[in-house]
């Protein structure tokens, strides 16, 4: 699973970072009162996800990078899921084969 962590930003009178995964989408991060606490929590998140896990964690330094990566990964996910729908003739042939 790929995990993308956004940069630390100001939010609601504090500092926070967001996380995005293909499975869960965008998750809003906890708002910390001090910027140092937000940076520490983000670094812990990056280290904990990379230790002994098959997850690939990508930490973004800018909002532009975060948006670009999430859109790119979302696009790859949709292409992987996209399969052509059967036409009516193929569907009838498959139903005949199953139901006789």
Is residue 89's pLDDT more than 60?
no
Predicted local confidence at residue 82, as pLDDT:
46
pLDDT band at 10 (very low <50, low <70, confident <90, very high): very high
Residues 6+ apart with CB under 8 A from 57: 3, 4, 5, 45, 46, 49, 50
| Residue found by looking up tokens 């293909």 in the block | 22
pLDDT band at 100 (very low <50, low <70, confident <90, very high): very low
**What is the average pLDDT across 55-79?**
83
Predicted local confidence at residue 2, as pLDDT:
83
Tokens standing for residue 40: 């520490």
């Amino acid at each position: 699973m790929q995990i993308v962590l956004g940069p630390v930003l100001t939010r609601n009178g504090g500092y926070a970072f967001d996380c995005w995964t293909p499975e869960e989408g965008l998750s809003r991060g906890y708002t910390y009162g001090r910027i140092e606490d937000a940076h520490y929590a983000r670094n812990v998140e990056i280290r904990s996800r990379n230790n002994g896990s098959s997850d690939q964690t990508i930490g973004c330094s800018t909002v532009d990078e975060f948006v670009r990566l999430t859109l790119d990964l979302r696009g790859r996910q949709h292409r992987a899921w996209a399969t052509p729908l059967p036409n009516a003739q193929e569907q009838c042939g498959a139903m005949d084969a199953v139901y006789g």
